[in-house]
Structure 1
C-alpha cells in the first residue's frame, strides 16, 4: 500500500536552521495560520496564542534571549506559541466568575494545546515547501520574553519557531527503535535496555558520518549529561507570577 502524501510529509521531517532571504508571502502565511487553528484542543478552550514576528529588531532581541541561536535573527519569520488562559480570564469576568487555573493540570493543558497548534503550523508550512525549527530556548529567559512581547497574566511562552524557505538540506536524524516507543497493552520495561543500546549504535554511526569523526557519542551519554543539570530554574517562578501556582 502506497503511503498518503500527508504521511510522507510527516516522515520527511528535518529541522531547518538556514533560510533564503526570500520572505514568506502574506497569503501563504495567512493560510498556514488558519490551518494551524484546527489543531485538537482540550474542552474547546483553544488555550494558545501565536505571536507573529517579522521586525528585525525584535528578532535580534529574541535571538539574545533564546541563547544566541543565529537562525532566530536570520529567519524571515519567527513565531512564538504561547499557552494562553487570559482569554478564559476575560470570559470568566464577563459572567461574574473567577478564573481558577492554579493547578498543574492547566499548565499541562495550555502546553499541550500550544504544542498541537505548533505542530499544525509546521506541517502546514512544510506543505508549502517552507522549512522550520522549533525553539525551546524561548523559555530560557521567559520573563524577559514576556515583557518584550507584552504577554498579559495567565500566559507564558511555550516554544518559538523559525520559518522560511530552506537554504539547506540537512541529514535526517534517526529516531529511536520502535521497541522503545510502542508498547502492546502495557509498558514493556524489559524492551528498553536493548533498544537504547541499539539506538546508541545508530546515533554513534550517524554523528560519526555527519561530522567526519568529530563527534562520535551515542544518544544515552548525551542525554544523561543534558538531563543531569537543572535547567531554566527561573521559568517556574515566572509561570507562578503569571497566575499558575501549580498546586
Structure 2
C-alpha cells in the first residue's frame, strides 16, 4: 500500500489511523509530522547563527491575531547568558547539552506603544490582551519547531521557564507587558527521537459535538502506551504531577508586569 508508512506511524502514535485520502497518503510533510518527536539528546556541534535567524523568520510567518504581531523570539547563544538560563532550568538535566536556546515572548507592550504613538485609547486592557499575546507566541513556537525539524535539527519546548518568570525577565532584560511563554532547546540530534503515543483520535478529534473520554478508554491508552513496560500509566503519572502546586505566583507576576486578568 502506498500509504503504508503514514498509516503505520499513525497506528503507532494513536493506536488507530484515520482514512487517508490519496492526496495526503504519501505526502512527505505529513509523514514527517507524523514521525516527529521531541529531542532531548544533542551533539556538541554549534548551530550557525544564520540558521537560527532563518528559522525565526520562518516562525514569524505564522498567523497572528488580527495581524497584531504580539510575539517576539529571543535567541540565546552567549555562553554566559546561556549558562545562567540553563542553571534556572537544571531540574531538567538534559537541557545542559543543548547548544542553543530560543525564548518565545508574548509581547503586548508594542500594541500599547502603538496606541500611545497614535494618540489612541487602550480600552482592551483585560484578560484578552494577555491571552492574545500568549497565543501568538505559542503559534510562532509551533512554526519554529516545524521549520527546525525540516532543517534537520532537533528541539524540545521548555515550559518550566515560566517557573522562574522574575529571574528570566531579569536575565533577558524584559520590559513590562513582555514575558516568556516557553523556551526551546535547539541542536543537532544525537539520535532519532522516540514517537510518543497519544490519546486515541476517536476521543480527541470531535465531529459536530464534543464527546468525553471514559475512564476505561484512558486505561486502555495507558496500557497501549506502557507496551508491557513497568511503571505507572500516563494518567496516573500526570495526575500525580498535577497534584503538586505549580506556578502559584504566576498570576501575581503577570499582574506585576502590567497585565489585568479580569
Q: 1:224, 1:102 → 2: CA distance?
A: 35
2:217 corresponds in structure 1 to: 195
TM-score normalised by structure 1 residue count: 0.91
Q: Is the 8 A contact 1:80 1:159 kept in 2?
A: yes
Q: Is the 8 A contact 1:101 1:244 kept in 2?
A: no
In the alignment, which of 19, 28, 47 is matched to residue 51 of structure 2?
28
Shift in CA distance, 131/100, structure 1 to aligned 2, threshold 3 Å: farther
CA deviation string 1:216-244 (max 9, x = no partner) = 21111111112222211122111111111
1:229 corresponds in structure 2 to: 244
In the alignment, which of 49, 53, 57 is matched to residue 76 of structure 2?
53
Q: Is the 8 A contact 2:108 2:130 kept in 1?
A: no
TM-score normalised by structure 2 residue count: 0.86
2:10 corresponds in structure 1 to: none
Q: 2:60, 2:167 → 1: CA distance?
A: 27
After TM superposition, the structure 1 stretch with the greater mean CA deviation from structure 2, 157-166 or 228-237, is: 228-237
Q: Is the 8 A contact 2:36 2:193 kept in 1?
A: no
Q: Is the 8 A contact 1:63 1:72 kept in 2?
A: yes
Q: How does 1:108-187 map to 2 (within 5 A)?
A: 108-187=131-210
After TM superposition, the structure 1 stretch with the greater mean CA deviation from structure 2, 88-97 or 60-69, is: 60-69
Gaps of 5+ in 2: 1-21
Once the two structures are TM-superposed, the CA of residue 198 in structure 1 deviates from its matched residue by 1.5
Q: Is the 8 A contact 1:139 1:159 kept in 2?
A: yes
Structure 2 SS opposite 1:203: helix
The reply to whether residue 76 of structure 1 matches residue 99 of structure 2 is yes
2:17 corresponds in structure 1 to: none
Once the two structures are TM-superposed, the CA of residue 100 in structure 1 deviates from its matched residue by 4.5
CA RMSD in angstroms, aligned pairs only: 1.6
Gaps of 5+ in 1: none
Q: 1:188, 1:68 → 2: CA distance?
A: 37
Q: 2:123, 2:197 → 1: CA distance?
A: 42
Shift in CA distance, 144/39, structure 1 to aligned 2, threshold 3 Å: same
Q: 2:179, 2:122 → 1: CA distance?
A: 16
Once the two structures are TM-superposed, the CA of residue 67 in structure 1 deviates from its matched residue by 4.1
Q: 1:235, 1:102 → 2: CA distance?
A: 18
2:39 corresponds in structure 1 to: 16
Shift in CA distance, 179/37, structure 1 to aligned 2, threshold 3 Å: same
CA deviation string 1:107-133 (max 9, x = no partner) = 221111111000100110101100000
